Amino acid sequence: MSTDLMSVEHFTLRRKGVAVLDDVSLRLPAGQTLALIGESGAGKSTLAFAAMGLLRPPEVALEGRLMVGDTDIASAPESKLRGLRGTRMGMIFQDASAALNPCFTVLDHLSEPLRRHRGLSRSACRTRAVELLDSVGIADPQARLSAFPHELSGGMQQRVMIAIAMACEPELLIADEPTSALDVTIQAQIMSLLLERVRALGASAIFVLHDLALATQVADRVAVMYAGQIVEEGPAFKVLNHPAHPYTRGLRASAIEFGAERLEPIAGVVPPLSAMPGGCRFAPRCAYATAQCSAQRPPQVTHGEVTLACWHL
């Protein structure tokens, strides 16, 4: 059996006293991919940033454990996290044009992690940078080393971001909506490339996604998030093709699919952090809610390979 590369246990993140992530627990076995799905405001990106150690006290208050390997990201000192980022963990941000420094060339971006974590010389960095650009499908990589971000297309910028994230061959790659700023054709190329690089290294990956169809293609496991909580988690095929939680079923019913005769959007919106309901946070939007749902938070219960939090499955 594979061991867990990442294990989240009763993890809560509070900003100004409000729980942005509330008692989150999940696991990611080594060598597998996990998709975090849910509406905007569900807490997906917050969990991804927390896993990278980018949300720290005193900006936020952290409770529980967020383990990557044998390191608790929630309590590790910043000096240790700096050593982990880039080596054991890599991140691809949502908007490459905003994440890349406009004052630095492609070579500058790729050389930084190679010098910091691998101690490579300038000439060795250049050689490795060409290899990395070639591995992500950039034509004439030698010529692209001197290019600045604004001289690249959106798809090429995202490919450079992938090369930077994978430069030191991390065990865990976190991708926050990596294709949302790209057109559909380029999206497919980028996601295929990401999976290829992750699998070539035998690494694990976390994808923050809105697209349910894409999640079924790229993820071994899926965690469905709503208002800072995980409501359903398990193997991607089971969760997305046979959803049990009312919220997951609502997401599936509101997704555009070939052959669908009608869409059934979920009524209402995700509540603001300042006005989270008691009990089940989805209860105000749920057609099956009862008085118990509004009064008590449902526990997470495991049914076979799937874990759910609902009083009325």
pLDDT in tens, 92-114: 988 888 899 999 999 999 999 99
List pLDDT tens digits, range 279-312.
999 999 999 999 999 999 999 999 889 999 999 8
Domains annotated for the chain, with CATH where assigned, are 4-88+170-309 (3.40.50.300), 100-169 (no CATH)
Going by C-beta distance under 8 Å and a sequence separation of 6 or more, which residues neighbour residue 185?
A: none
List pLDDT tens digits, range 10-67.
999 999 999 999 999 999 999 999 999 999 889 999 999 999 999 999 999 999 999 9
Confidence of residue 132 (pLDDT cuts 50, 70, 90): very high
Dihedral of CA 149/154/156/162: which sign? positive
Query: Is the CB of residue 231 less than 8 Å from the CB of residue 248?
Result: yes
Residue 161: other Cβ atoms inside 10 A:
26
**What integer best gives the mean pLDDT of the chain?**
91
Q: Is the pLDDT at 1 greater than 60, yes or no?
A: no
Lowest mean pLDDT among 8-22, 30-44, 161-175, 255-269: 255-269
Query: Is the CB of residue 66 less than 8 Å from the CB of residue 4?
Result: no
pLDDT > 90: percent of the chain: 71
- Copy the structure tokens of residue 34: 């996990």
What pLDDT is attached to residue 259? Answer: 63
More confident residue, 193 or 233: 233
Q: Is the pLDDT at 2 greater than 70, yes or no?
A: no
Q: Is the pLDDT at 258 greater than 70, yes or no?
A: no
How far is it, in rounded angstroms, from Cα 293 to Cα 281? 9
Residue 146: other Cβ atoms inside 10 A:
11
Count CA within 13 A, CB hemisphere, residue 72.
10
